Amino acid sequence: MTSIPAPAPGGKKLGLVIDLDTCVGCHACAVNCKEWNTSGHMAPLPDFDPYGAHPEGVWFNRVHSYEAGAGADGRTVHFPRSCLHCEDPPCVTVCPTGASFKRAEDGIVLVNADLCIGCKLCSWACPYGAREFDEDAGVMKKCTLCIDRIYNETLPETERVPACVSTCPTHARHFGDLGDPESDVSRLVASRGGYALMPEQGCKPVNRYLPPRERPTPPAPARRAANEAPIASRLLAWADRVLSR
């Protein structure tokens, strides 16, 4: 069993805020994550049978699309899913070797590949299905919140965000300190009614999802069919209209 450290004084709760109001399900975040991370901190993210009958690889971020509700009032929902960097992560407490750990200073949940024995207990423990097993290396892998981008001093400051955030074409992904109520992401969560996923699991996820915005009620029709005037009289009225050009 691996214990969870108490948050460091002034420690952050870094995480993502994902806006379901604007996510169109384009998979940009998933693929850009894949290409950054396959040569990144947890490299590589292998692909098995890549040109065969069962292509399947390691992805830290996957997008699920489904429908909610029936008929024309229903919705098509696109739902990106990645590690939620829980405050109380069962994937960490279940780890027999200490490979899975949560950082005190920023709350990021990581895997130390040198300690991982590939027992997969963490993937069984995670209720969100956020763990990805590299069968080739026999090591569990997962979202690092792009730890090699967010602190990377070789990148311009504006680019020190996870790849999924930087690439999202509908700006549906935001990154920041969700432990600081004054941070941009915390304000966004507060203003938009952001919520945690499956709180009943007790993992206290850090990531938040923003629900679709309320749809405005369309205005009532201005005109009824009954007041249809004959075409000729309408043309006459327009013929009298004085215009200048």
Partner 1 sequence: MPEASLARAAPDDGIAYSVPTGDRVATTTCYMCACRCGIRVHLKDGRIRYIEGNPDHPINRGVLCGKGSAGIMTQYSPARLRNPLLRVGERGAGEFREISWDEALSLAAEWLGAVRARNPRELAFFTGRDQSQSLTGLWAAEFGTPNFAAHGGFCSVNMAAAGLYSVGGSFWEFGEPDWEHARLFLLWGVAEDHDSNPIKLGLARLRERGARIIAINPVRTGYGAIADEWISLRPGTDGLFIFSLIHELLAADRIDLEFLATHANAHWLVIESPGAADHGLFVRDEAGQPLAWDRAEGPVPAGRAGISPVLAGTLTLPDGRSARPVFHLLAERYLSPEYAPEAVAPRCGIAPETIRRLAAELAEAAFDHPLELPHPWTDMEGRRHESMPGRPVSMHAMRGIAAHANGFHTCRALHLLQMLLGAIDRPGSWRYKAPFPRPIPPGPGPAGAETAPNKPIAGTLLGYPQGPDDLLVDAAGEALRIDKGFSWEAPLALHGLMHMALPNAGAADPYPIDTLLLYMANMAWNSAMNPAENIASLTAREPASGEYRIRHVIYADAYFSETVPYADLVLPDTTYLERYDAISLLDRPIGSAHGPADAIRQPVLAPDRNVRPFQEVLIELGARLKLPAFTRPDGSARYRDYPDYIVNHQRRPGIGPLAGWRGAGGEKIGQGEPNPDQIKRYVENGCFWRHELPPGQHYFKYANRDYLEAAAALGLIARPERIVLQLYCEPLQRFRLAAEGHGSRRPPARLRERVARYCDPLPFWHPPLAAAEISPAEFPLSAITQRPMPMYHSWGSQNAWLRQILAANRLYMNRGLAARLGLAEGDWVRVSSPTGTLRCQLALMEGVNEETVWTWNAIGKRAGAWNLASDAPESARGFLLNHVISAFLTPAGGAARSNSDPVTGQAAWFDLRVRVEKCDPAELPLTEPHLSPLPRPPGLPPAPTLLRHHAGGAP
Spell out the residues 6+ positions from residue 218 whose beta carbon is closer than 8 angstroms to its own: none
Q: Which residue in the block uniquely carries the two structure tokens 């009532």? A: 220
Contact 42, 82 (CB under 8 A): no
- Residue 103 binds partner 1 (CB under 8 A): yes
Assess 193 for contact with partner 1 (CB under 8 A): no
Among 6, 9, 154, 226, contact with partner 1 (rule: CB under 8 A): 154
Q: Is 87 in the site for partner 1 (CB under 8 A)?
A: no
Task: Rule CB under 8 A: say whether 9 interacts with partner 1.
Answer: no
Q: Which stretch binds partner 1 (CB under 8 A): 88-96, 124-132, 188-196, 217-225?
A: 217-225
Are the beta carbons of 27 and 1 closer than 8 angstroms?
A: no
For partner 1, the binding residues in 26-85 under the rule CB under 8 A are 26-28, 30-32, 34-36, 38-39, 41, 43-44, 46-53, 55-57, 59, 65, 67, 69-72, 74-78
Please name the residue that has the structure tokens 């027992």. Answer: 119
Options 9, 158, 191, 200; binder of partner 1; rule CB under 8 A: 158
The nearest distance, CB 200 to partner 1, in angstroms, is 27
Instruction: Give 170's contacts (C-beta < 8 A, 6+ positions apart).
Output: 19, 22, 23, 24, 26
One residue of 168, 189, 203, 206 binding partner 1 per CB under 8 A: 168
Q: How far is the CB of 198 from partner 1 (least distance, A)?
A: 22
Residues in the interface with partner 1 (CB under 8 A) total 102
